[in-house]
Amino acid sequence: MGAITLKESYPVEAGDFSTAGEASGKIKRVLKKLGIDSAIVRRVAVAAYEVELNLVIHSMGGHMDLIVEPDYLQLNVHDRGPGIPDVDLAMREGYSTASDDVRTMGFGAGMGLPNMRRNANDFSIRSTVGVGTDIEMGFKL
Amino acid sequence: MTAQRILELLDGRLLLGELPEEEIHSACGSDMMSDVLAFPKERMVLLTGLTNAHVMRTCEMLDVLLVVFVRGKIPGPDVLAEAEKRDIVVMATPYTLYEACGRLYSNGLPSGVSTQEGRCGEWVQSH
């Protein structure tokens, strides 16, 4: 771990589809400005967008923290519940509890969590029902 | 394939922006943005029948160069405004998603999926 280049926090409101993606868009622009390789920026942006959508669709709100170090980038996400009863099931491609409304908007295919894991170099998830979910993603720069 | 060639093959109508000069290397056709996000590709055109603002937000994350709305669908001004904010070029075609993808594929534009012969790998069981 090196010196921190940048640390920012982005709040995400529950159920607010009209702004879903704005935090991820900001993160992408910040990383581009820092001159990070475009392929890595895209991987972070996709993972950030997936997790932001999850917060909007499934959570009671939360925040995304971006920490950039010279050779490593962390995206740490915390929400205020409701928590995931079976994390292993939620990590399976194709598993989704999203509503039909969400599906008509083009999401809810059950690809979000697996896609985050696929894009990040390091991925961990902890969830407690009634408390909330923490997702930590790490990207080598 | 150039964006100009795509416009010709799809009898397209340019709705926003100027056709990019850089070569387009891959294409994706889907109404499911979750699936589009799962298979990012370089220098991509997205063909879709979904006309909401999330299409543009998804395209921003993936650096999509060009969006083609199929089946004669013209998105609303709010969606075009989202595209404009992100410098995304937008086109419409009268063809269906299937036909439009077929025209591009048969003229040499690959899917860009890196796994063997465009296959996506594991089977995915819905729950």
| C-alpha span between B79 and A27 (Å, rounded) | 21
Residues of chain B in contact with residue A115, where contact means CB-CB under 8 angstroms, are 34, 37-38
Of A28, A43, A105, nearest to B52 by CB-CB distance is A105
Is residue A118 domain-resident?
Answer: yes
In a mutational test of the A interface, the residue from B33, B61, B63, B114 whose CB has the highest number of chain A CBs within 10 Å is B61
Instruction: Give the CA angle between residues A43, A46, A51 to the nearest 5°.
Output: 125
The pLDDT mean for chain B works out to: 91
d(CA A31, CA A33): 5
Q: Domain of residue B61: give its range.
A: 3-108
In a domain, B95, yes or no: yes
Q: What is the pLDDT of residue B118?
A: 64
Nearest CA in chain A to B53: A18
Over residues B73-87, mean pLDDT: 96
Instruction: Kindly indicate the confidence band of residue A95, based on its pLDDT and cuts at 50, 70 and 90.
Output: confident
Task: Give me the phi and psi of B88, to 5 degrees please.
Answer: -100, 130
What's the CATH code of the domain at B31? 3.40.1390.20
Sheet with strand A132-140: strands edge to edge: A6-12, A62-68, A72-79, A132-140, A122-128
The answer to the question of residue A12 being in a domain is: yes
Number of domains in chain A: 1
- Complex prediction ipTM: 0.87
The answer to whether position B118 is within a domain reads no
Greater pLDDT, A73 or B124:
A73
Q: Within 10 A of A121 (CB to CB), how many other CB atoms are there? A: 13
CB contact under 8 A, B34 and A112: yes
N-to-C CA span, chain B: 38
Residue A15 distance to chain B (closest CA, Å) = 14
* Side chain identity at residue B25, one-letter code: H
Domain span at residue A82?
Answer: 6-140
| In the predicted structure, residue A1 carries a pLDDT above the cut 60 | no
Query: Could you tell me if residue A1 is inside a domain?
Result: no
pLDDT of B123 higher than 60: yes
Count of A–B CB contacts within 8 Å? 82
Q: How far apart are the first and last CA of chain A?
A: 12
Residue B48 lies in a domain: yes
Beta carbons within 8 Å of B46's beta carbon, 6+ residues apart: B27, B28, B29, B30, B36, B55, B58, B59, B62, B64, B66, B67, B68
Contact residues, chain B, for A49 at CB < 8 Å:
37, 57-58, 61
